[in-house]
Amino acid sequence: MLFAHLSDIHLGFQKHESLQKIEQQVFEKCLDECIARKVDFILIPGDLFHVNIPEMRVQKFAFAKFRQVHDAGIPIYVVYGSHDFSPVSNSVIDLLAEVGYITKVTKATSNENN
C-alpha cells in the first residue's frame, strides 16, 4: 500500500502574488506526484486551508486540483485542523466533501473484530 501524507498546507496563507504562485505550485506538484505514483489514498490531517472559507481564487484552485485527483480514482481523507474549522460557520472542506472530492474524517471508530 502506498499513500501520501500532506499536512499543514495552509492554502491561502500567502498574500503576496509571487508567493501565492509558489504556494499553488508546491501543492500542485504534490498532487501531481500522487497521481503519477498512483498512491492508494491521500491523508491530509489538518490545516488544508489557512482559514475555513478562503478567498475565491484559492477555492477555485483547490477544487480544480481535487477534481483531478478524484478523476484519477485516488481517495482523499481530510481531518479538520484548527485553521480549517469554525464553530460558528461552515468550511470549504464541507463543500469539497459534499461534491465527493474528499472524505471528511471527523471521529475515530473502532472495529474490535479486526
pLDDT digits (tens, 9 = 90+) for 15-72: 767 777 877 888 899 999 999 999 999 998 877 886 777 778 888 989 999 999 999 9
**Residue 49 is placed in which grid cell?**
486551508
Tell me the pTM. 0.79
pLDDT of residue 81: 64
Q: Backbone phi, then psi, for 8, in 5-degree steps? A: 55, 50
Residue 85 lies in a domain: yes
Read off the CATH number of the domain in which 81 is found: 3.60.21.10
Residue 96 lies in a domain: yes
Residue 94 lies in a domain: yes
d(CA 5, CA 12): 19
Residue 113 lies in a domain: no
pLDDT of residue 26: 86
Domain count, the chain: 1
Residue 77 lies in a domain: yes
Residues 50 and 12: beta-carbon distance below 8 Å:
yes
pLDDT digits (tens, 9 = 90+) for 71-108: 999 999 988 765 666 555 678 888 899 999 998 887 55
Quick one: three-class SS letters along the chain? CCEEECCCCCECCCCCHHHHHHHHHHHHHHHHHHHHHCCCEEEECCCCECCCCCCHHHHHHHHHHHHHHHHCCCCEEEECCCCCCCCCCCCHHHHHHHCCCCEEECCCCCCCCC
Residue 110 lies in a domain: no
Q: Would you name the residues annotated as active-site residues?
A: 83
Residue 19 lies in a domain: yes
The domain of 50 spans 3-105
pLDDT of residue 39: 97
Residue 112 lies in a domain: no
